[in-house]
Amino acid sequence: MEKFTVLKGVAAPLPLVNVDTDMIMPKQFLKTIKRTGLGKAVMFDMRYEDNGAEKPGFVLNQEPFRNAKILIAGANFGCGSSREHAPWGLLDFGFRCVIAPSFADIFYNNCFKNGILCITLPQAEVDKLLAKAQEGNTKGGEFAVDLSAKTITTPDGVVTKFDIDDTRRHNLLNGLDDIGLTLQQLDKIKAFEAKQKAEQPWLYA
């Protein structure tokens, strides 16, 4: 997993609530056997007409948001299906950070497994950032997300602090491999199995 330290880039505003993972990555793209190449499918139905042409009114079809690295969205972002194809698509598009008032649990976890930072902020704070991001259409300029300092800086220099679980932060800052870390505890897993087998033998019958 790629390390996340400081991310600088354009933030795209998507002020919708309950954006589900079907919306982020529709079913027809779940047939891939790879993790890459899904960027073109992100938000597919909102992004393209039936004939494949871009819908000009959609934010990711507009400059400078085509190159956005940060997505700012409404509450309960990523609800529904557990499909990791949603964060894979966001990552492939270029997003490394999503900011919203709340996230669905599975999506949130999936993002961190792929080096995408999810930042939860109160609605009022998100609304301010959304307004700044919308100005990006005319003024340009980059946001900066500093995971070490736990800050978001808008193009005009306004700093917002955010909170994040220490372990998630540590793993992301260092790009750690979860499985490798867990395998260091293999003796504990085996000890658990021995104990469970003695107490609940039917689980090992």
Using CB under 8 A, pick the residue from 109, 134, 137, 151 that binds other proteins: 109
Residues in region 124-163 near other proteins by CB under 8 A? none
Q: How would DSSP label each residue in 32-66?
A: -SSSSS-GGGTTHHHHB-TTS-B-TTSGGGSTTGG
For residue 107, how many other CB atoms are within 10 A of its CB?
27
What CA dihedral angle connects 158, 159, 160 and 163, to 10 degrees? 170
Checking DSSP bridges between strand 6-9 and strand 117-120, what pairing results, if any? unpaired
Shortest distance (Å) from residue 15 CB to other proteins: 8
Question: How is residue 121 written in tokens?
Answer: 């902020």
181 vs 192: CA distance, rounded Å: 17
Shortest distance (Å) from residue 129 CB to other proteins: 16
- CA nearest neighbour of 47 among 68, 76, 74, 33: 68
58 vs 42: CA distance, rounded Å: 12
Residue with Cβ nearer other proteins (27 or 139): 27
Shortest distance (Å) from residue 22 CB to other proteins: 4
> Is the bond leading into 56 cis (omega within 30 degrees of zero)?
no
Shortest distance (Å) from residue 137 CB to other proteins: 20
By CB under 8 A, is residue 188 in contact with other proteins? yes
* Window contacting other proteins (CB under 8 A); options: 5-13, 21-29, 57-65, 129-137: 21-29
Residue with Cβ nearer other proteins (144 or 173): 173
Shortest distance (Å) from residue 146 CB to other proteins: 23
Residue with Cβ nearer other proteins (10 or 100): 100
Shortest distance (Å) from residue 153 CB to other proteins: 26
By CB under 8 A, is residue 174 in contact with other proteins? no
Q: How would DSSP label each residue in 71-110?
A: EEE-SSBTBS---THHHHHHHHHT--EEEES-B-HHHHHH
Binding residues for other proteins, rule: CB under 8 A, are 16-18, 20, 22-23, 26-28, 30-35, 45, 50, 74-76, 79-84, 87, 102-106, 109-110, 113-114, 165-167, 178-179, 181-183, 185-186, 188-189, 191-193, 196, 200-205
